[in-house]
Chain A
Amino acid sequence: AQSVTQPDIHITVSEGASLELRCNYSYGATPYLFWYVQSPGQGLQLLLKYFSGDTLVQGIKGFEAEFKRSQSSFNLRKPSVHWSDAAEYFCAVGAGNNDMRFGAGTRLTVKP
């Protein structure tokens, strides 16, 4: 069965600084990979997804992620963080047929 690890529970960055959120997955085949963002008390919003093809994926709000099969990773990056990016970020891995596993999440705090 697939699983996801987000090693960082909480990250703090200064506004304007770059951001990288880590995600490692475990799955035997080529996974479907996702990043979602959740603001307090809200649902999850899809940032980007990877199914196949180009391993660098562009998403909404200036985010991108890179699939590295050799490292079983799908890290999320943003070159310059805005205060509105403060939220919780979830990495997820899918096996198709909507069988998805979510990581525990990384809470992002943005310092002024």
Chain B
Amino acid sequence: KAGVTQTPRYLIKTRGQQVTLSCSPISGHRSVSWYQQTPGQGLQFLFEYFSETQRNKGNFPGRFSGRQFSNSRSEMNVSTLELGDSALYLCASSLQDTQYFGPGTRLTVL
């Protein structure tokens, strides 16, 4: 089976712009979770989607949003980008309480 794929792998944006990141889960996995990873804060949970519904949400501002499609693919959107949003964004799909991670999208905000 193919693993979790994330696109794009690298992204450079400027402050105030918005960005959309995409995640395709492992075939058969219906849950997709998103994490932000930074050197200072480590791995922080953003949100989780299951069957197109947000099931869990972390402590991030409303500028961070997501959605899941009927084929389980997920997107996350960050609006009005800030310098502090520069991070590695990781997506994980899960089956039976085990999460499998994609390679991440490296977002740089200038």
Given A90-B43, A97-B55, A100-B45: A43 in contact with B102 (beta carbons within 8 A): yes
Closest Cβ neighbor of B42 among chain A residues: A104
Please determine whether B101 and A100 come into contact, CB atoms closer than 8 angstroms.
Answer: no
Chain B residues closer than 8 Å to A32, beta-carbon distance = 97
Query: How many A residues, CB 8 Å from partner?
Result: 22
Cα A41 to Cα B106 with chains together (Å): 8
Closest Cβ neighbor of B98 among chain A residues: A49
Could you tell me the distance in whole angstroms from the C-beta of B28 to the nearest C-beta in chain A?
15
Chain B residues closer than 8 Å to A51, beta-carbon distance = 97
Closest Cβ neighbor of B35 among chain A residues: A102
Chain B 68-103 residues near chain A, CB threshold 8 A: 88, 90, 92, 94, 97-103
Please determine whether B56 and A98 come into contact, CB atoms closer than 8 angstroms.
Answer: yes
| A17 interface contact, C-beta 8 A | no
Cα A4 to Cα B90 with chains together (Å): 19
Chain B 28-49 residues near chain A, CB threshold 8 A: 31, 33, 42-43, 45, 48
Chain A residues closer than 8 Å to B99, beta-carbon distance = 34, 46, 98, 100
Measured CB to CB, the residues of B under 8 A from A are: 4, 6, 31, 33, 42-43, 45, 48, 50, 55-56, 88, 90, 92, 94, 97-104, 106
